[in-house]
Amino acid sequence: MSEYIIKNGHVFDPTQGIKGDKADIAIKDGKIIKDSEVSSKAKVIDAKGKTVMAGAIEIHAHIAGPKVNLGRIYRPEDKLFTYQSTTANTRMAGGFSIPTTFKTGYEYAKMGYTTAMEAAMPPLFSRHVHEEMRDTPIIDEGAYPVFGNNWFVMEYLKNKEIENTAAYCAWLLRATKGFAIKLVNPGGTEAWGWGLNCLSVDDPVPYFDITPAEIIKGLIEANEYLGLPHSIHIHPNNLGNPGNYTTTLDTLKLSAGYKAKNKFGREQVMHLTHTQFHSYGGDTWANFESKAKEIMDFVNKAKNVTIDTGNVTLDETTTMTADGPFEHHLTELNHLKWANVDVELETAAGIVPYIYSPSISVCGIQWAIGLELALMAKDPMRCFITTDHPNAGPFTRYPRVIKWLMSNKARQDQIKAFKNSDKVVSATNIAGMDRELSLYDIAQMTRAGPAKSLGIPSMFGGLKPGMDADVVVYDFNPDKPSAPDQIEAAFSRAAHVFKSGIEVVTNGEVVNNGHKRTLWVNAKTKENPQVMRDVQEKFIKYYSVTQANYEALGHHIVPNPYAIEVDATQ
Amino acid sequence: MTKTMTDVVCPFCGTLCDDLEVVVSDDGKQLKEVYNACVIGTEKFLHSQTKDRITRPRLKQPDGSWKEVSYDEAVEYTAQMLANAKKPLMYGWSSTNCEAQSVGHEIAEMAGACVDNTAAVCHGPTVIALQDIGLPSCTLGEIKNRADRILFWGCNPAHAHPRHMSRYSIYPRGFFTGKGQKSRKMIVVDPRVTDTAKLADVHLQVEQGRDYELLNAFRVALNNEWLPDVVAGIPAAKIREAADLCKNGRFGIIFFGMGVTQTLSKNHNIDEAIALTKHLNEFTKFSIMPMRGHYNVTGSGEVLGWQFGFPYSVDLTRGFARYNPGDTSSIDLLARGEVDAMFTIASDPGAHFPISCVKHIAKIPSVCIDPHQTPTSGVSKLHVPVAFVGVEVGGNAYRMDNVPIDMRKVVDPPAGMLTDEEFLTKVRDRLKQLKGKA
């Protein structure tokens, strides 16, 4: 494998506390090595006057699987004016808010993202998710199976059987080659099976007679029992409704008293995702307002919680979530086409297109809330940038979100551009916030922070010798004054991107398709005959596929698997 | 001695039953018996064992006779045909696995071809409708566990999807449906008294081609608005009764088939059926699902979807993907005589397309990749027999509810035979050479 040395760049690496100092980064055999160990054959990349960071990590995006693909299929209009022809190194690629798999890989890589997590994998559809990930080039990917409405989980937790819950979770992670325990509207999506919902953490789930709070606490305990790399990853109840911040606070409070137990360096027990959608005040759309401060006051104090933002990018996009009842609610609001898939024993999903229009004050307020969350974060190692792709906007807008976070001027320009800017200003705090995030903050929020939260800080998110050689060079000089648009331009098309030591992007163009891997978590538990018998029984009686056809996952479906081993037998 | 293989997946219809048991000889070369499958599925397995099976490619001679050729010669013919064509059509894909589809799409991208699957003559109107209005749906296990109202509209599962009712929709005892058939009400809408209709609690014998009116009348009845005395041949009172039955259920589902997609009004019927489903969700929980025919037509739509963004009738001739059914769909392309090479795989347009289209296939260079002899292989210049997917080779397939199931290999194919994927991979590699890309 080739050797590289990236010379004289301004390095931003939170794992070593390097804040823009000039340093050389050396790469050999897919890993970062000390720059003294590199041989004279190494190819020199001149990064003088440029920014050097580790490859960025996407902690939450909907980029592969049944609902993403249904979105692609049912929105031909999303492809309009987006198609790129075949090139020497790329397949033809198109789509805006729900790009084809090839485009997904290329676009992440061009922005310097080298690892991405699919945020909601319905276990019954795991093969579909993996088939799409196989066709997403360059980037390493993992997927979170959903557990929050799973019948096994609800039945075990109703009886407070943490050990059985944990054994089942480990089995399902193995069967689906999943990465973490995801919860979406816990209990509410099962209620959606009957057209109902759970809007607070104390709403009982129909028939199962358990509350969302009990599901959340139980899965925290199971997660820590297993000692998984990532914590539970939760999309709480009551998404998207005015006044929902109280439900969010109730959810966050459930983390109290729990401490992370794992050998991966993770400190949180709960990751609250797309927090923007959960930080709403008011009780109607007329008096809708930001409660970002109330949420961040809690998050800043709670060291055992991490969040991501879910920034609204003011685009036409496609919302999709395992929160089935929410999507039905949304289609009743905007009257755009509604797709829904309920999945036996496990979950559901819904899809509705949405236009975040700068002419609508609610959309402007949502935009402000997402930015406020990041600007109010005291610890950038616990607050990560996402757009909940494609829900609040496509991931290809990360450079624009970074611009807004790094430049008050860019924010003020946008506020002025809103049709109802006075309404947006009065319902939020954004106009008075002059904090501008630094490149070091950005490196924490997009690299080191997500890596730590995901429990993979030894591989990703930094530039320490021994880590995977995922390195990005941006054509951006932190020493010189710059216009906000230069930030966006530089982060949109990286000058150089290395994935596991292979140069995959040069001057914003894909030059190599790399050696993509699928990350999954293999948690070994003590043999648990009861759980295995329960699994068997459910397949015989209630599933529509046999157990043997649920688990089978051959090499043709998951090429280059990379298992993170967890031993929970002790 | 024989051995029994369990959890075998049936490569026939979109029901994709995965509980078959197949008895094979000890050396794994002969398939002896098939259990649990319907009569069609059983035949599909046993058919692979016929002694007069064609096992080598055949090239049609000027005098109309066939000459056996090697796979390498077949690869050369196919690759040359695709390399030289200005606008080849690559049609079919519905009875092969996703792996083969994927390689086929690489070929299509290189050759600048139109790619289309059997949805073009089947559930294409369903796709157009869901692009208009969405699709509230669910997996088949949800039906089994929850559904107490089942509508079959313009479909006849008793014959077309023989195990559908016993596995998923009418008879199974699920979690919330412990009484099985007794916990469900079954409504059939069909102009004919089919074997499915005979089982129904309510059979609405709709006037042929009047489904749109009846669907619309259902929605009027849901709102308790005025209806004419008779709509689509059904008395208003009966429509109100059926609508109330749907409304009063806990969880309902509309299954629909060719009777609504390929009759007068086409996609507009489905638009209205989906609107009715959405409407019913204001009162209770309701879903809708197309009864997909070929066992992996759904998979073809999925793979096309994630690779190109469109599920059928995809035109790659301009170097980027376009989708415009009516313009880029197979029958229209053939009827207008626009394509100059025909590549058919895993389907039989010769038996199902209008005769004018089939005549055009006979006029142009053409390849048919299919384990069987079919009307399509008959009119094609080259017939490439391949291993039976789901019998002699595994691979992924998608059930009618989009659930992916990995199929199993149960016996070896006859010696020296290639699979779809193997043959296509050779064509791809040769085409790369011809295009100067390798």
DSSP codes of every residue in A474-512: ES--TTS---HHHHHHHHHS-SEEEETTEEEEETTEE--
**Interchain CB distance below 8 Å, B141 and A345:** yes
Instruction: Please report whether residue B90 resides in a domain.
Output: yes
* Per-residue pLDDT, A503: 98
Q: What pairing do the DSSP bridges indicate for beta strands B20-25 and B2-8?
A: antiparallel
Residue B437's pLDDT band, with cuts at 50, 70 and 90, is confident
Nearest CA in chain A to B5: A548
B201 vs A: CB within 8 A: no
Residue A559's pLDDT band, with cuts at 50, 70 and 90, is confident
Q: CA of B177, closest CA in chain A: separation in Å?
A: 10
Q: Chain B, 89-108: which have a CB under 8 Å from a chain A CB?
A: 98-99, 102, 106
> Going from the N-terminus, what domains does chain A have, and what CATH number goes with each?
56-454 (3.20.20.140)
Q: Chain A, 50-79: which have a CB under 8 Å from a chain B CB?
A: 64, 66, 68-70, 72-76, 78-79
In whole angstroms, give the CA distance from residue A13 to residue A463. Answer: 6
Looking at B290, B309, B333, the residue that finishes a domain is: B290
Instruction: Please report whether residue B183 resides in a domain.
Output: yes
Do B173 and B316 share a structural domain? Answer: no
pLDDT digits (tens, 9 = 90+) for A28-80: 999 999 999 999 999 999 999 999 999 999 999 999 999 999 999 999 999 99
Residue that the structure tokens 């993509």 belong to: A516
Q: What pairing do the DSSP bridges indicate for beta strands A113-121 and A56-61?
A: parallel
pLDDT digits (tens, 9 = 90+) for B281-299: 999 999 999 999 999 999 9
pLDDT digits (tens, 9 = 90+) for A356-376: 999 999 999 999 999 999 999
Do B117 and B131 share a structural domain? Answer: no
Do B425 and B278 share a structural domain? Answer: no
Which residues, in sequence order, are CB contacts of A257 under 8 Å at separation 6+? Answer: none
Do B159 and B29 share a structural domain? Answer: no
User: In whole angstroms, what separates CA A315 from the centre of its chain?
Assistant: 19
Instruction: Please report whether residue B218 resides in a domain.
Output: yes
pLDDT digits (tens, 9 = 90+) for B200-221: 999 999 999 999 999 999 999 9
**Interchain CB distance below 8 Å, A84 and B144:** no
* Per-residue pLDDT, B436: 86
Q: CA of A127, closest CA in chain B: separation in Å?
A: 6
Residue B1's pLDDT band, with cuts at 50, 70 and 90, is confident
Q: How many CB pairs under 8 A join A and B?
A: 189
B300-323: average pLDDT? 97
Say whether pLDDT at B198 is over 70: yes
**Interchain CB distance below 8 Å, B130 and A339:** yes
Do B253 and B153 share a structural domain? Answer: yes
**Nearest-CB residue to A131 (from B310, B320, B396):** B396
B133 vs A: CB within 8 A: yes
B205 vs A: CB within 8 A: no
B305 vs A: CB within 8 A: yes
**Nearest-CB residue to A74 (from B109, B134, B139):** B134
Q: Find which of B5, B6, B139, B302 to mutate to test the A interface (most A CBs within 10 Å of its CB).
A: B139
A185 vs B: CB within 8 A: no
**Interchain CB distance below 8 Å, B320 and A85:** yes
Instruction: Please report whether residue B137 resides in a domain.
Output: yes
Average pLDDT for chain B: 97
Instruction: Please report whether residue B74 resides in a domain.
Output: yes
Nearest CA in chain B to A99: B309
pLDDT digits (tens, 9 = 90+) for A173-206: 999 999 999 999 999 999 999 999 999 999 999 9
B76-83: average pLDDT? 98
Count how many domains chain B has.
3
Residues of A in contact with B6 (CB under 8 A): 546, 548
Q: Chain A, 486-505: which have a CB under 8 Å from a chain B CB?
A: none
Residue B23, domain extent: 2-47
Cβ-contact A125, B404 below 8 angstroms: yes
**Interchain CB distance below 8 Å, B175 and A124:** no
Q: Percentage of chain B surpassing pLDDT 90?
A: 98
DSSP for A4-31, please give it. Answer: EEEEEEEEEETTTTEEEEEEEEEEETTE
Residues of B in contact with A341 (CB under 8 A): 137-139, 402
Residue that the structure tokens 């086929």 belong to: B104
Say whether pLDDT at B131 is over 70: yes
* Per-residue pLDDT, A552: 63
Residues of B in contact with A195 (CB under 8 A): 281, 284-285
Say whether pLDDT at A558 is over 90: no
Residues of B in contact with A339 (CB under 8 A): 130, 134-137
**Interchain CB distance below 8 Å, B403 and A546:** no
DSSP for A71-107, please give it. Answer: HHHH-GGGGTTT-B---SS---B--SSS--HHHHHHH
Do B225 and B128 share a structural domain? Answer: yes
Phi-psi region of B389 (alpha: psi -120 to 50; beta: other; left: phi over 0): beta
A235-260: average pLDDT? 97
* Per-residue pLDDT, A555: 65
> How many Cβ atoms from other residues are within 10 Å of residue A433's Cβ?
16
A155 vs B: CB within 8 A: no
Q: Which of A253, A250, A269, A226 is nearest to A525 (CA)?
A: A226
* Per-residue pLDDT, A397: 98
Nearest CA in chain A to B133: A337
Do B269 and B128 share a structural domain? Answer: yes
Angstrom distances, CA of residue A332 to CA of A337, B28, B116, B249, B282? 10, 56, 35, 22, 10
Residue A519's pLDDT band, with cuts at 50, 70 and 90, is very high
Do B177 and B249 share a structural domain? Answer: yes
Do B116 and B132 share a structural domain? Answer: no
User: In whole angstroms, what separates CA B208 from the centre of its chain?
Assistant: 24
Do B267 and B305 share a structural domain? Answer: no
Say whether pLDDT at B356 is over 80: yes
A337 vs B: CB within 8 A: yes
Say whether pLDDT at A135 is over 90: yes
Nearest CA in chain B to A191: B285
Please state whether the peptide bond connecting residue A76 to the residue before it is cis, i.e. omega within 30 degrees of 0: no
Do B130 and B250 share a structural domain? Answer: yes
Do B286 and B181 share a structural domain? Answer: yes
B138 vs A: CB within 8 A: yes
pLDDT digits (tens, 9 = 90+) for B359-398: 999 999 999 999 999 999 999 999 999 999 999 999 999 9
* Per-residue pLDDT, B372: 95
Residues of A in contact with B163 (CB under 8 A): none
B399: its two tokens: 């059930």
Instruction: Please report whether residue B255 resides in a domain.
Output: yes
Looking at B258, B290, B322, the residue that finishes a domain is: B290
A80 vs B: CB within 8 A: no
pLDDT digits (tens, 9 = 90+) for A141-182: 999 999 999 999 999 999 999 999 999 999 999 999 999 999
Instruction: Please report whether residue B257 resides in a domain.
Output: yes
**What is the 3-class SS of A279-320, one letter each residue?**
CEECCCCCCCEECHHHHHHHHHHCCCEEEECCCCCCCEEEEE
Q: Find which of A70, A73, A121, A124 to mutate to test the B interface (most B CBs within 10 Å of its CB).
A: A73
Q: What are phi and psi of A162, to 5 degrees?
A: -70, -40
Determine the angle formed by the axes of helices B267-280 and B211-222, rounding to 10 degrees.
20
Residues of A in contact with B137 (CB under 8 A): 339-342
Q: Chain A, 204-263: which have a CB under 8 Å from a chain B CB?
A: 207
Q: What are phi and psi of A141, to 5 degrees?
A: -135, 155
**Nearest-CB residue to A552 (from B6, B323, B406):** B406
B412: its two tokens: 């070896």
Say whether pLDDT at A556 is over 80: no
**Interchain CB distance below 8 Å, B19 and A66:** no
Q: Find which of B308, B401, B422 to mutate to test the A interface (most A CBs within 10 Å of its CB).
A: B308
Q: Residues, chain B, total? A: 438
Say whether pLDDT at B127 is over 90: yes
Say whether pLDDT at B106 is over 90: yes
Dihedral sign, CA of B387, B393, B397, B400?
positive
Q: Chain A, 393-452: which have a CB under 8 Å from a chain B CB?
A: none
A342 vs B: CB within 8 A: yes
**Which CATH number characterizes residue B412's domain?**
3.40.50.740
pLDDT digits (tens, 9 = 90+) for A383-419: 999 999 999 999 999 999 999 999 999 999 999 999 9
* Per-residue pLDDT, B438: 65
Average pLDDT for chain A: 97
Say whether pLDDT at A553 is over 80: no
Instruction: Please report whether residue B52 resides in a domain.
Output: no
* Per-residue pLDDT, A1: 62
